[in-house]
Structure 1
Amino acid sequence: MKVKLKNIDECDEFYKKIIEGTALSHKKIYEIIEIHREYYRIENDNKEPILYDKRIFEILDPSIPKDCIYQFYFEDSDETHEDEEGFIWRNFEEEYNITPKCFAQRAFFDFYFDKHEEQVAIYNDYIRERNMSNNE
């Protein structure tokens, strides 16, 4: 999947501030690493795999690489509700991500940013292979 930043003139003030605070360039095309419900993970101009709000991007190529998998899970919400019998239920939010198989472990990017050797090596190998296949 490939995206580029929206034209800043098409955005409201909130998104203009978000775009200005990113390490992304206008007119540059970015390849998505991961897709979350509300975010794309993109390697920015500083070579960091950061989550960015989907709403600041224009989709250029919607295709998803064949090596990606779909993961669906629930996250605890801070909100609760009470049923008719007075039982308190914690609400859950549905979450998903579409990610390369090599990143399909719980908290992969948390470990990556904590500089765990295994996750850093896996990520670097993935980016190297992706860049080689893009140059062919």
Structure 2
Amino acid sequence: MIVKLQRKTTRYSDLTYGQYYAVIGIEADDFRLLNDRGQPYLYPSQLFEIVDPSEPEDWITEFGEDGERYAYPPRLYACGFFEDFFDAKKEAVVTFWQVVNQRLGTAKVSASSSS
């Protein structure tokens, strides 16, 4: 899934207006993506226009009690994975970058959608 930041916002200064971002996961309907500082943070989905809605077929998707969506690649779906990543636990960091580099290598914005 590729999204584009719809408007400037001072609250999220680590994102650039008009920039395209590859969504690497969805958590409680928020998008996890690499911000301009290369950090995988969560952002409200309302900030973005979906440019390409296609998602990898292997994502695991579940819904919470209130219908909120959770979706990640299998290797990033483990409970506590991102806590381990931000705690700089080697296995989580290595796994994260392997998965993200693979995904970003296949993410594309078509010429027709970038205008």
How does the TM-score come out when normalised to structure 2?
Answer: 0.81
Runs (5+) with no aligned partner, structure 2: 109-115
Inter-partner Cα distance in structure 2 for 1:134 and 1:25: 18
Partner AA of 1:53 in structure 2: P
Aligned residues: 108
Are 1:2 and 2:22 matched, yes or no?
A: no
| Identical columns (%) | 31
Aligned partner of 2:33 in structure 1 is 42
Inter-partner Cα distance in structure 1 for 2:104 and 2:33: 14
Aligned partner of 2:86 in structure 1 is 113
Inter-partner Cα distance in structure 2 for 1:128 and 1:64: 16
Are 1:25 and 2:53 matched, yes or no?
A: no
Show CA shifts across 1:1-31 (max 9, x none): 11111134xxxxxxx343xx33111222101
> Alpha carbons of 1:2 and 1:48: their partners in 2 closer, same or farther (altered >3 Å)?
same
Q: Which has the higher strand share?
A: 1
Aligned partner of 2:77 in structure 1 is 104
Inter-partner Cα distance in structure 2 for 1:116 and 1:56: 30
How does the TM-score come out when normalised to structure 1?
Answer: 0.70
Runs (5+) with no aligned partner, structure 1: 9-15, 75-92
Q: CA RMSD in A?
A: 2.0
Q: Which has the higher helix share?
A: 1
Partner AA of 2:2 in structure 1: K
Greater C-alpha radius of gyration: 1
Higher relative contact order (CA 8 A, sep 6+): 2
